[in-house]
Structure 1
Amino acid sequence: MTTTQIAQSATTFPGSTRVEMIMGRPVSVDIRTALPARELTPLLDDAFAWLRWVDDTFSPARPDSQISRLNRGGTIRQVPELIEVLHRCDELSEATGGWFEPRIGGVIDPSGYIKGWALERLSRALSNAGAGDHRITAGNDIRVRGSSAPGRRWRVGIRDPRTDAVRKVVFAHDLGVATSGGSAVVDPHTGRLADGPGSVTVIGPDLGLADGYATAIYAMGPVRGRRFAADLAGAGPYETMIITRDGQEITTPGFLGHSGTQARLAG
């Protein structure tokens, strides 16, 4: 499925939005920078070609992906991005005390990091190509940069993946937003499904890291996850919102700094 829409309202930037099915979900790239169609079209073509390449290379569900070949002990291509991703995953494992772990039972699966990493790389590439005002959305991972309209920050509704209700709205010119809890997360210490909270959202400057942290905090469970989230916020620019299974919201102090007056909506 592919749709392209050209925004012509005087209150928004001209630009283009395209949606395609990648990684088993709709992925949208919304560019608001005023560029001519002859530049926007190839930019979007390249954007989705990159995302398809990432899926073909890193998906453990694809038998011919490099990850699947690696897990079978087969021959793999010399792909610099593969080395980078595995290195970043090892760093996340160390930073989270092993709660983010791409190697479980001898099988490598970077799924808790790869989507955020791919969108982060794409966002940087779009900026370098002159499309600095954009929003990329893939499921519960969102990367915004620049402005949604002249002088306006992007408005991002954070949804509870269990109910699809919007629980918080954040406003930003440059931010990654990753939410874990919409799909199964494995406890790396037991190999069983994690008994996590309802959901975990981490926001920060690098969507790949935010994605990995959200996965780890969810796997930790409510008590350990809250402590780690507080330490993470105290050490750097990553803030966390945890929604408990009974619907309560627990946020680190800096998270509220990104929220507007309409912090809670009903769906």
Structure 2
Amino acid sequence: MTVIQARVIHAMTIPFTLQLASDTASAAQLATLIDTVTPRVADFLRQVETTFSPFRSDSQVTAARHGDWSPLLADASDHHLPQSAAQGQRPSRHAGITLAPDGTRRTQSAFAEVYALMEQAKGLTHGHFDPMHAGAYDPTGIVKGWAVERAHEQFLMPLIKSGQCDAAALGGGGDIQTAVADTSDFTWNIGVQDPSNPHGTVRTVTMRNGGIATSGTSQRGEHITRSTHDLTQATVIGDHLTFADMWATTAISAGERTFRELVAANPAAQNDLMAVFIRADGTVSELKPGRSTPPSTNRPALS
């Protein structure tokens, strides 16, 4: 029998839910494990808020808005966010290298990493994902998904790889990263919320490893610069939450038709992404990947 333990973390002005599942551990063992890891995840998420919140006067984003872009050249070891490379572990899959003024190569700071991802997203989406909002630098369209994926990779994946649990999920504000051990047949079932009914769902996503991100106007209003269209919510499922988050934001910015055109022109996105669109009139449509290879049992499914 699978045992699941969950804890709630309040950070970045929203609640995050951390879940661990095990086919072999007792409820008490899993509770001890999750109580050990939860404070570490909470600390990471709160430090992300300290660094990236555009609403804090002391954040690096606020400093950049006032012309101080020096964190772009900072080394990861100079940054207060936990860095897997600085701890002697394998660097994050997103971690990059930057050149210092003296020519030395250094691992990017979190600020530089997110900035690079924002610029990459702008290019991939032909400018529909824009790191500028209302004339100011605003990384909130990607930083929450990035933070959840980073925290999941750094703190939860080691628990799966070491056999301490069989599955782990972390999510908040519509962004969820999941993983399941290869030896387990556990699956995560995630509901796509109905924006007109906070207690209803329009689809259920069954997945093992990957990220699911939802963007829309029902919870936060018009917080994304967007063209005229009738899309009110977009949920995107992909291999990595950071990019699922980016594509979900893009869908709300560009609209369903343009989103489909962008995905069709991007082979990687076309092969990997799934999406659920909800229009202003309440109708629902889907985008399914155009894989040329047979579907895997690890592939997310919609129902």
What TM-score results when the alignment is normalised by the length of structure 1?
0.81
Q: Is the 8 A contact 1:229 1:239 kept in 2?
A: no
Residues 231, 170 of structure 1: alpha-carbon distance in 2 compared, 3 angstrom cutoff: farther
Aligned length: 245
Deviation, 1:12, is 2.0
> Which stretches in structure 2 are left out of the alignment for 5+ residues?
80-108
Deviation, 1:96, is 0.2
Residues 47, 132 of structure 1: alpha-carbon distance in 2 compared, 3 angstrom cutoff: farther
Q: Which aligned pairs between 1:1-267 and structure 2 lie closer than 5 A?
A: 11-13=1-3, 16-33=5-22, 34=25, 39-74=33-68, 78=74, 79=79, 80-125=109-154, 126-129=156-159, 130=162, 131=165, 133-146=167-180, 151-164=185-198, 165-181=200-216, 182-183=219-220, 184-187=222-225, 195-232=229-266, 235-254=270-289, 258-259=300-301, 263=303
Deviation, 1:40, is 3.5
Distance in 1 of aligned mates of 2:285 and 2:266: 14
Q: Is the 8 A contact 1:229 1:252 kept in 2?
A: no
Deviation, 1:144, is 1.4
Q: Deviations over 1:34-91 (max 9, x none)?
A: 4565543331111111011111110101111111111112475534010000000100
Q: Is the 8 A contact 2:208 2:300 kept in 1?
A: no
Distance in 1 of aligned mates of 2:55 and 2:230: 24
Pairwise CA RMSD: 2.7
Partner residue in 1 for 2:106: none
Q: Is the 8 A contact 1:201 1:242 kept in 2?
A: yes
Letter in 2 for 1:243: I
Question: Displaced runs of 4+ in structure 1, greater than 6 A?
Answer: none
Q: Deviations over 1:193-226 (max 9, x none)?
A: x645021111001101100111011111233233
Residues 196, 55 of structure 1: alpha-carbon distance in 2 compared, 3 angstrom cutoff: farther
Q: Deviations over 1:171-190 (max 9, x none)?
A: 111021101104224326x8
Q: Is the 8 A contact 1:232 1:239 kept in 2?
A: no
Deviation, 1:132, is 5.5
Letter in 1 for 2:188: W
Letter in 2 for 1:127: M
Q: Say which SS state the counterpart of residue 19 (structure 1) adopts.
A: strand
Distance in 1 of aligned mates of 2:120 and 2:196: 30
Distance in 2 of aligned mates of 1:231 and 1:75: 33
Residues 83, 113 of structure 1: alpha-carbon distance in 2 compared, 3 angstrom cutoff: same
Distance in 2 of aligned mates of 1:69 and 1:199: 32
Distance in 1 of aligned mates of 2:263 and 2:279: 14
Q: Say which SS state the counterpart of residue 234 (structure 2) adopts.
A: strand
> Which stretches in structure 1 are left out of the alignment for 5+ residues?
1-10
Partner residue in 2 for 1:5: none
Q: Is the 8 A contact 2:224 2:252 kept in 1?
A: no
Letter in 2 for 1:66: Q
The answer to which of 101-110 and 213-222 deviates more is: 101-110
Deviation, 1:25, is 1.2
The answer to which of 42-51 and 88-97 deviates more is: 42-51
Q: Is the 8 A contact 1:196 1:218 kept in 2?
A: no
Letter in 1 for 2:270: A
Residues 37, 152 of structure 1: alpha-carbon distance in 2 compared, 3 angstrom cutoff: closer
Distance in 1 of aligned mates of 2:114 and 2:213: 17
Letter in 1 for 2:224: V
Distance in 1 of aligned mates of 2:188 and 2:266: 24
Distance in 2 of aligned mates of 1:36 and 1:171: 23
